[in-house]
Structure 1
């Protein structure tokens, strides 16, 4: 009833073109066809050596995706979260149908936030966006990685500075190491830019004994 009242007062719209929709967060088919473009990202040799099963992206980090991600992370807008979850759910379904990413995956792990940032934001965007869709296709989702240093924001840093900023920022407890050994792991996050975060997280997972790594993000500017 409450949602029906809200929909009457504030009719749902496609987050990309503002066409009226039936449900909050829903995208129109035309915009999904334009924005949701699944692709495997090109990786430099050091990153490709760690992520042997590749890193996949659902769309370009511009236009509506860029705005929605900013509104989610910095404004905490529920409308943006719903729109991104709808987008991510469709993307995961399509990838699962192709069996291009998930066929060998044992467990999915999110890029973690430091506890201080998690407290400030109130949620980990990677878990918020991917948990339900990943578990619905039958893949386990665990929080095995920890962020032990409260690093500086990556925005505005070049690749060398980002790598230095993130060095030794992630760790895995002894208990979780036992659960990772020999597993094929999918690492998920909202954005892929220089790859510094994936590189450091990937190194930690490989050191803990992970067999093969793949990655999946909502958006990336990498071509």
Structure 2
């Protein structure tokens, strides 16, 4: 889902400067008044449980406490948390035994509790507005990655799945991360050219086989990727099969390196 551009779009007419300024002033005043009126009629509520909150697009104290945020110490490659801090730059045994295609992965939180509910509501409940909160948490968790990224690219959906779901949650999150970090958002850099079956219930080997050849960089996008560091964005990291397949396609398409940022990740062991 491409975010609308900032400023005028094709077909719009620019107002004279004094009229534009007057319109902005009136619009700002009316906007504040309307927001105040809406706040009285519909007070802010928790995006997860609908309990009252102090501000819009936020979590209540109970739901916030149900978020298992991932902080250091964690594996520098996979972003999986460690129980004990043994010093900076540590790599987990899993990353050494089976190195991922992507360079680094970061996630805001574990995929359980409130985080799981938020992902399901965004993905299956048409709660597209949740991308603002989730994207903000992702931008904070992945600030090291966004600082080095040239492009922000979402994991794409196949066109048939996009048609049935109506929007790509990864694209919504990637657009928000790009906006908050000031990075270039490029949703067309990667295409899903193979319709794969659902990954749920598949083994690690079956997931990798299912995704073989699923992604491709369109020829027209190769100059945009050449020599650039890409931040790949998805909602959840499970086994890493999808991220590896997408990262491999981006590298073959000319990207210099690929990092991965997700809202949540499955953590099987600390």
Q: If the TM-score is normalised by the length of the shorter chain, which range does it land in?
A: 0.7 to 0.9
Q: Which ranges of structure 1 fall in alignment gaps of 5 or more residues?
A: none
1:90 corresponds to 2:137:
yes
- The structure number with the bigger radius of gyration is 2
Q: Deviations over 1:4-26 (max 9, x none)?
A: 77765654332456541144431
In 1, Cα distance between the equivalents of 2:59 and 2:119? Answer: 15
Q: Structure 2 length as normaliser, TM-score?
A: 0.70
Kept in 2, the 8 Å contact 1:187–1:214? The answer is yes
Matches within 5 A, 1:140-179: 140-143=184-187, 144-179=189-224
RMSD of aligned Cα (Å): 2.6
Q: Which ranges of structure 2 fall in alignment gaps of 5 or more residues?
A: 1-32, 72-78, 81-91
1:109 corresponds to 2:153:
yes
Segment of structure 1 superposing worse, 7-16 or 166-175: 7-16
In structure 2, relative to structure 1, the CA distance for the partners of 1:46 and 1:187 (3 Å cut) is farther
Kept in 2, the 8 Å contact 1:85–1:130? The answer is no
Name the structure where helix makes up a greater proportion of residues: 1
Kept in 2, the 8 Å contact 1:108–1:142? The answer is yes
Q: Deviations over 1:58-107 (max 9, x none)?
A: 1110111112211222232x2xx3344213213314543xxx21222111
Structure with the greater relative contact order (CA < 8 A, sep ≥ 6): 1 or 2?
A: 1
In structure 2, relative to structure 1, the CA distance for the partners of 1:121 and 1:9 (3 Å cut) is farther
Kept in 2, the 8 Å contact 1:27–1:83? The answer is no
Q: How many residue pairs end up in the alignment?
A: 216
In 1, Cα distance between the equivalents of 2:249 and 2:175? Answer: 21
The residue matched to 1:120 in structure 2 has which SS? helix
Q: Structure 1 length as normaliser, TM-score?
A: 0.84
